[in-house]
C-alpha cells in the first residue's frame, strides 16, 4: 500500500470508505502497511476518546497504543455489519477502561466520588468562550467516564453499565452529577 | 439554570472529538504487531503464497508504471484512462481464471472464500465506477490494482495453505 496519508485524507467520503474497506481486507491478510494507513486515518479520534476517558496524556497514549495492538489481533472479528469506525471506537472504549482498571488507585479513584481530578489544563480551541474540555478533565473520574461515554460517544446507560460493571441507575446518576458540575462551573465563568 | 444547560449543550456540539498525541504512537504499535501475531488463521499460508503473489504484483506494477503490454501494438504504450482500466481488468480476469482453473480440483480451507471474492468484486466495481468519472486518478488506479491483488492472494491462500505444501 503506497498511497500517502495526505492522499487518503483528501479523498471524498465515498472514496475513503472504499479505500478503507480495501485497507481492512489487506490488513486482515497481514498487510502491516495497510494497517498503518488505517491507524493514520483513525488515531486522532481514538486518541481523543482515550484522553477524555483517562484524563491524562501519558495514560491516553499508552491506552491508544494498546487499542491498535488489540484491534490488529482481532481485526478478523470485524464482520462489516457496522461501520469500521463504530466498531473501532467500541473496542477503544473497552480497551481503555480495561487499561484504567489495571492502573494503581483505579478502585479508589472510581469510588471516591467527591475527589476531583487534578488534570493538566488543556484548551480545546472552543470558539464559544467556554472551555468545556478543561472542565471535563476536572470532573471526578467516574462522572467523567460516564459523561464522555454518554454525552460525547453516544452510548446508552445500559451499555455503559455493562462496560463499567455498574448499575444503569448509577450511570444515570453519575451523568447527571457530571452535567450539574459542568453547568455550575460554566455558569461561574 | 436553563441558560447554563443551553451553554453546555452548545459547547458539547462544538467540542472537537479529535486530538493529536504528542508523540508518534505507531512505533510502539509496529513493534508489537511485528512479533508475528496473526491477524487471521488464513495468514498461515502466507509464506508459500507470497512469492507467487509477489510475481503477480510485480507484473501488475510493471504494467501500470510502464503502461507497456509486450503482446500489443506500440500504440498501446500511451494507454490511459478507460483503456488502461479495461486492460488491467482484462489482465486480472485472465489471471484469476487461470488460478481458479488450476485449483478447481482442490478443496478450499475456508467456506466463505467465494463470498470474500464477491465482496472484492463489489469493491472493484465501486472503484471502477469512480474511475469512470475520474479516469486518470492514480490513487483509484492503485486501489483497483490492490483489490485485484487481494483477489489473487485470496484464491492462492485458501487453496494452497502452507501445511499442504510440506
Q: Is A30 on the interface with B (CB under 8 A)?
A: yes
Query: Do the chains contact at B15 and A152, CB–CB below 8 Å?
Result: yes
Residues 6+ apart with CB under 8 A from B12: A132, A151, A152
Q: What is the pLDDT of residue B159?
A: 77
Total tally of structural domains belonging to chain B:
1
Q: Which residue has the higher pLDDT, B97 or A37?
A: A37
Beta carbons of B5 and A183 less than 8 angstroms apart: yes
Query: Does A120 have pLDDT greater than 70?
Result: no
The verdict on residue B11 lying in a domain is no
For chain B, where are the alpha helices, taking DSSP H only? 2-14, 26-33, 46-66, 81-102, 113-133, 138-159, 162-165
Name residues whose C-beta falls within 8 Å of residue B92's C-beta, 6 or more positions apart in sequence. B60, B148, B151, B152
The domain boundary, picked from A69, A87, A103, lies at: A103
Looking at the complex, does the CB of residue A119 fall below 8 Å from at least one CB of chain B?
Answer: no
Q: Does A61 touch chain B (CB under 8 A)?
A: yes
Residues A129, A153, single domain; the answer is: yes
Q: Are A123 and A133 in contact, with CB atoms under 8 Å apart?
A: yes
Instruction: Please tell me whether residues A188 and A116 are part of one structural domain.
Output: yes
Q: What pLDDT, on a 0 to 100 scale, did the predictor assign at position A130?
A: 57
Pick the closest to residue B91 from B48, B152, B137 (CA basis). B152
Q: Which of A153, A134, A132, A146 is nearest to A177 (CA)?
A: A146
From A54, A84, A103, the end of a domain falls on A103
Query: Which residues in A lie closer than 8 A to residue B40 (C-beta atoms)?
Result: 28-30, 75-76
Contact A47 B139 (CB under 8 A): no
What does the pLDDT read at residue A23?
92
- Region B34-62: what's the mean pLDDT? 45
Rounded to whole angstroms, the Cα distance separating A102 from B57 reads 45
**How many whole angstroms separate alpha carbon A188 and alpha carbon B4?**
10
Distance CA A166, CA A24 (A): 34
* Grid coordinates belonging to A153: 460517544
Q: Decide if B115 is inside a domain.
A: yes
Is B4 within 8 Å of A184 when comparing Cβ atoms?
A: yes
Residue B86 falls inside a structural domain: yes
pLDDT confidence of residue B150: 83
Query: What is the span of the domain harbouring residue B78?
Result: 45-165
CA distance A146 to A153: 10
User: How far apart (Å, rounded) are the C-alpha atoms in residues A11 and B57?
Assistant: 24
Of A15, A48, A73, the CB nearest to B130: A15
Count CB-CB contacts under 10 A for residue A116.
Answer: 14
CB-based contacts of A9, cutoff 8 Å, min separation 6: A41
Which chain A positions have a beta carbon within 8 Å of B46's beta carbon? 29-30
Average of per-residue pLDDT across B13-25: 93
Task: Tell whether A69 and A145 lie within a shared domain.
Answer: no
Distance CA(B88)–CA(B44), nearest Å, equals 29
How far apart are the C-alpha atoms of B162 and B166, rounded to whole Å?
Answer: 7
Residue A40: closest C-alpha in chain B: B26
Choose the mutation target among B19, B50, B156 for the interface with A, i.e. most A CBs under 10 Å.
B19
pLDDT at A7: 52
Q: Pick the residue from chain B with its C-alpha nearest to A129.
A: B11
Q: How many structural domains are present in chain A?
A: 2
Asked whether residue A128 carries a pLDDT value surpassing 70, the answer given is: no
B92, B148 Cβ separation under 8 angstroms: yes
CATH number at residue A94: 1.10.1740.10
The separation between the first and the last C-alpha atoms of chain A, rounded to the nearest angstrom, is: 50
pLDDT above 80 (res A115): no
C-alpha span between B70 and B77 (Å, rounded): 9
Comparing alpha-carbon positions, the chain A residue that sits nearest to B16 is A124
Same domain, A9 and A34: yes
pLDDT at residue B44 greater than cutoff 70: no
Domain range for A30: 1-103
User: How many other CB atoms are found less than 10 A from the CB of residue A102?
Assistant: 8
Gap from B126 CA to chain A (nearest CA, Å): 7
For residue B1, the 8-state DSSP code is -
Contacts of B82 (CB under 8 A, 6+ apart): B131, B132, B135
Whether residue A70 sits in one domain with residue A6: yes
Which of A103, A121, A151 is where one domain is finished? A103
User: Can you give the pLDDT at residue B125?
Assistant: 82
Are residues A92 and A10 both part of a single domain? yes
Amino acid at each position: 500500500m503506497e498511497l500517502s496519508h495526505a492522499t487518503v485524507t483528501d479523498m471524498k467520503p465515498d472514496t475513503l470508505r472504499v479505500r478503507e474497506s480495501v485497507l481492512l481486507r489487506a490488513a486482515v491478510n497481514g498487510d502491516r502497511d495497510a494497517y498503518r494507513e488505517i491507524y493514520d486515518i483513525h488515531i486522532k479520534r481514538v486518541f481523543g476518546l482515550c484522553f477524555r476517558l483517562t484524563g491524562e496524556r501519558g495514560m491516553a497514549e499508552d491506552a491508544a497504543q494498546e487499542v491498535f495492538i488489540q484491534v490488529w489481533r482481532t481485526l478478523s472479528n470485524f464482520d462489516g455489519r457496522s461501520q469500521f469506525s463504530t466498531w473501532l471506537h467500541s473496542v477503544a472504549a473497552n480497551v481503555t477502561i480495561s487499561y484504567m482498571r489495571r492502573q494503581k488507585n483505579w478502585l479508589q479513584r472510581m469510588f471516591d466520588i467527591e475527589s476531583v481530578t487534578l488534570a493538566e489544563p488543556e484548551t480545546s480551541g472552543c470558539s464559544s468562550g467556554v472551555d468545556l474540555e478543561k472542565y471535563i478533565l476536572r470532573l471526578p473520574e467516574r462522572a467523567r467516564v460516564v459523561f464522555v461515554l454518554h454525552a460525547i460517544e453516544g452510548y446508552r446507560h445500559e451499555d455503559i453499565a455493562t462496560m463499567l460493571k455498574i448499575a444503569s441507575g448509577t450511570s444515570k446518576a453519575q451523568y447527571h452529577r457530571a452535567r450539574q458540575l459542568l453547568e455550575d462551573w460554566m455558569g461561574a465563568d | 439554570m436553563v441558560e447554563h444547560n443551553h451553554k453546555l449543550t452548545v459547547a458539547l456540539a462544538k467540542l472537537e472529538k479529535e486530538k493529536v498525541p504528542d508523540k508518534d504512537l505507531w512505533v510502539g504499535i509496529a513493534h508489537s504487531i511485528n512479533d508475528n501475531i496473526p491477524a487471521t488463521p488464513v495468514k498461515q499460508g502466507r509464506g508459500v503464497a507470497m512469492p507467487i503473489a509477489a510475481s503477480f504484483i510485480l507484473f501488475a506494477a510493471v504494467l501500470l508504471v510502464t503502461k507497456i503490454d509486450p503482446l500489443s501494438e506500440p500504440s498501446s504504450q500511451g494507454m490511459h484512462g478507460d483503456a488502461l482500466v479495461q486492460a488491467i481488468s482484462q489482465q486480472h480476469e485472465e489471471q484469476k481464471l487461470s488460478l481458479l482453473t488450476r485449483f478447481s480440483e482442490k478443496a478450499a480451507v475456508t467456506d466463505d472464500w467465494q463470498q470474500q471474492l464477491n465482496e472484492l468484486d463489489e469493491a472493484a466495481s465501486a472503484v471502477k465506477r469512480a474511475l469512470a468519472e475520474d479516469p486518470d486518478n492514480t490513487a483509484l488506479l492503485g486501489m483497483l490494482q490492490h483489490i485485484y491483488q487481494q483477489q489473487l492472494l485470496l484464491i492462492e491462500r485458501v487453496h494452497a495453505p502452507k501445511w499442504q505444501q510440506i
